[in-house]
Amino acid sequence: MVSINLRKPLLGLLCAFSVAASSLQAGFAQISAANPADFPAATYPVAGEQWPYVGGDPAGTWFSSLADINDSNAGQLGFAWAYDMGTERGQEATPLVIDGVMYTSGVWGIVYALDAVTGKLLWSFHPGIDPASARNACCDVVNRGVAVRDGVVFVASEDGRLHALDARTGAEKWTADTIISRNKTYTYASTGAVLLTSDCVVIGNSGADLGDGSTRGYISAWDIRTGALKWRFFTVPPAPGQPFEHPELEMAAKSWGPGHDGRYQNGGTVWDGLSYDAQTDQIVFGTANASPYVRAKSAAERHDDLFNASIVAVNAHTGRMNWYYQETPGDAWDYDAVQKFIFANLPVGGETRRVVMQASKNGFFYTLDLKTGKLLAADPFSYVNWATGIDLATGRPRFTEIADYSAKPKNVYPSWAGAHTWNPMSFSPKTGLVYIPTLDAPNVMVNLPANHGKLDHLEGFFNANGIIPDDTYDEVTLTRLFGPLPTKAELQKERGKTSLVREVLKAWDPVARKVVWEQVTSDGNRGYDGGVLSTAGNIVVQGRGDGTLRVYNARTGVQLAAIQTGSHIMAAPMTYRIGGVQYIAVQVGYGGIGISYPLPSSDIAYRNQNTNRIVVFKLGGGPVPQPDPRPDPLTYPAPPAFRSTPALIAHGEAKFTEFCSRCHMFGPGITPDLSRLPREIHGMFDAIVLKGVLAGAGMAPLDDMVTKYDVKAIHAYLIDQQRKGYEAQRTKNVVH
C-alpha cells in the first residue's frame, strides 16, 4: 500500500459461426415491438443503495433503481464533495460503492478507497510500475475500473499486472503478471476493468495498434484466491507452422488467406468490454483489429482474419469457445468490437429471450441470443456509409465501394474512433431504451503508399491514416504529408446541412430498432463526451467535454439540468444512497484517445488545469469548486541556435508525424507541446529520445524505432517550428 502525492508531469467467415448447433441455423428471429412497461424483469437485481459493479450490475446496464433524484427535482442537484486524485491525465473509470466505501481506479491502475459520504481518503495503492511502459498504451495510461468481492479489490495496472488488495487496508494479497512476452519491442498494456466470474479474475490487454505487430490478443483467467493461471484463450492463430494452443485456432487460421505472414502476431486484443453471465456460465468479450496487417485492403484482398473484430463467448471454467460472431470481416477501418455489452431480456418472436446487445464501433447496433450467439438484429444507430446493412441470413455486412480506399482516399463513416467506443451506454428496463454516447463523424481513410505522400507508415495506423475532418483539417499541411486529399467543402456535400463531425446522445429502442430521441452534445469538433447513467427516477445523466454534467428526461430527452464542473468528463457517472441521501458521482479529467489533440481555447480543459477529481452531487448542493486556471501555455521560449537545411527539416516533419504525433501535437494538451521546449530540454533532446533519460516521467526511449539522423531531423523540425512561433510572438508584441 502506498499513500503519496501523485501529481507529476508525464510526457508522454467464414460468416457468423457457433459451436452450438442451434446457432448455425440461418434466418432472422423477428424482435417484436412491445410496451416498455411490459419488459421482462431483469435476471439480475439492478443497482440500488450500492453500486457493486463497474456497470452497476452483472448485466452491465449502468442503471439504478434509485429515484430520489428524478425528473421533477434534478434541477436542484449540486456539489456534495470532491476528491483530488493527484494526477493530471485521462479518467475513464466508474467508481464502486460497497458498504459505505467508494473504490475506484485512476491512471496507471492507482486504486483509491474513500468514505463515500465525506470523500475522506481511507487508503490508496500505487502499483509501482515503470512509467516507461506508457509507450505501450495506445490511448493514454487510463484505467476503466476495479472489481470487489469478499473483502478483496482487484485491479489491472497499466503494465499488465493483476493485483489483489485487501479492501480494508489496500495491502497487496497477491499479484500476477498477465503478459506472455516481455521484451524491448512488446506493446502490451492493460487499461480495461477486470472481470470476476464465480472463481476467476479475467483480464485482456491492448496493443494491436502499435509497434511492429508483436502483439497477439488473448484473455486470461486467474484463480480468485491465489492468482494462479487457470486458462488462456488466444483470439488469433499463431504463426503458420506453429502448434495451435486450442482447437478453435485451427478453424480461425483458415480465414487468414495465403498472405499470412508469420513474422507478425496478428493483434485481436481484448482491451475492454469483458462481461460474465452466471446463467450460462460464459464470458462474452469483443476483439480489436488485426496487427499490423494492411489496413487498405481491396475487396479482392479482404480475408476474414478471425477472430478479429468479433464477439466471442467462452466457457468461464474451461476457456473453450461456445460461439462467436464476427461483426466486421477483414476489418480495414479500425472497427474494434470491444465496446461494452449489455445483457437483457427482450421479447423476441413472441417469447422472452436473454440477449446480449452492443452498439458497435462500426455503427451498427447488434442483438444476439446470449446462449447461442444467433444474430437477432443489426441496424445502423448512426450514419454509416461503409456498408448498406447486415445480411441477417449470413451475418455479413454488405460492403459499399466507399469501404475500399486502397486506390484513393475515401471519406468513411464512422471514423476509426467509432460511432460508439469504450464510453459506457446504459439500458433502462423502465423505459426499454438504450442510451448511447454516439460520435457521428467520418475519417478520410488514406492508403499511404498509394497516395504518394511523404509517409508510408504512421504509428497507430500502420500503412494507412484516418483523418477526421474537424476544425483542425488543414488541407495544405495534410496534403503535403499524406498526398492529395479531398477538400472539406467536397466532404460536406455528403451530409448537406448536418455537420461533418458531431457528438450525439441517442435513445435507441432495441425492440422497435430505431432512435427515439437524440441530443447533439458537440458540433463541429469532437468533445470526447462521457458515458451514460440512467435511473428509475426517469433521468439520464452524462458528462460532456465542455465540463458540464447534464441530466435529461429519460423518455423525452428534454434537458433538466446542466452543472459546470470545470473539468472535462469522459467517464460514466454512477449513483448510490447512504443515510437516506442519494448521490451521483463521476470521475473527471481529460486524456484517453484525445491525448495528442491540441485543445481549442474554448475548451474547458484548455482554460483550467487538468486536475483529476472524483466529483459527487446531491440534491440541495452548491456550485462545484473549479480547478485552478491553466497558466498561459502559448508562450514560445527563444529557440536555440541550430544549423539546418530545408531537406533536414522536411525529413524531421515526416518522422515526427510517423513516430511522435501519436502523443504530441502543437498547442495546449495533455502531453507537452514540443514546439515550445525550454533551453535545458533542447540540450537533453538526444538523450531523452534515444537513451530514455525522462523515462521516469513517461517518455520511453525510441532507439528501436528511429535512427540518430532521424532524431537530429526531428529536433531540427521542432526548432524550426519554435523559431516561427517565437518570431510571430515578437512581431505581435511589437505591434501591440
| Catalytically active residues, by annotation | 334
Cell triple for residue 79?
Answer: 456539489
CA distance 459 to 662: 7
107 — phi, psi (to 5°)?
-60, 150
| Beta-bridge partners for 610 | none
Closest CA to 537 of 565, 561, 516, 508: 561
Q: In degrees, to the nearest 5, what angle opens at C-alpha 692 toward C-alphas 209 and 91?
A: 50
3-class state of residue 695 by DSSP: helix
Q: In degrees, to the nearest 5, what angle opens at C-alpha 533 toward C-alphas 528 and 535?
A: 160
CA distance 506 to 66: 22
3-class state of residue 577 by DSSP: strand
CA distance 274 to 288: 13
User: What number of H helices and E strands is found in the chain?
Assistant: 9, 39
Cell triple for residue 590?
Answer: 481529460
Q: Are 508 and 413 in contact (CB under 8 A)?
A: no
CA distance 140 to 134: 7
CA distance 510 to 341: 13
- What order of strands is seen across the sheet that includes strand 96-98? 96-98, 101-105, 111-115, 121-125
Q: Are 308 and 291 in contact (CB under 8 A)?
A: no
170 — phi, psi (to 5°)?
85, 0
Give the type of residue at 208.
A
Per residue, the 3-state secondary structure of 581-615, as one string, reads: EEEEEEEECCCHHHCCCCCCCCCHHHHECCCCEEE
Cell triple for residue 177?
Answer: 503478471
Sign, CA torsion 449/452/456/460: negative
CA distance 654 to 455: 7
75 — phi, psi (to 5°)?
-65, -15
Q: Are 409 and 465 in contact (CB under 8 A)?
A: no
Closest CA to 33 of 349, 294, 320: 349
CA distance 461 to 481: 15
CA distance 573 to 224: 28
3-class state of residue 735 by DSSP: helix
Cell triple for residue 578?
Answer: 447512504
| Beta-bridge partners for 473 | none
- What order of strands is seen across the sheet that includes strand 426-428? 426-428, 433-440, 502-509, 514-523
58 — phi, psi (to 5°)?
-65, -20
CA distance 56 to 62: 5
Distances (CA, A) of 538 to 68, 431, 621, 634: 10, 8, 20, 44
Burial of 526 (0-12, 13-18, 19+ CB in 10 A): buried
Cell triple for residue 450?
Answer: 498509394
CA distance 566 to 412: 34
- How many C-beta atoms lie closer than 10 Å to residue 647's C-beta? 10
CA distance 106 to 92: 8
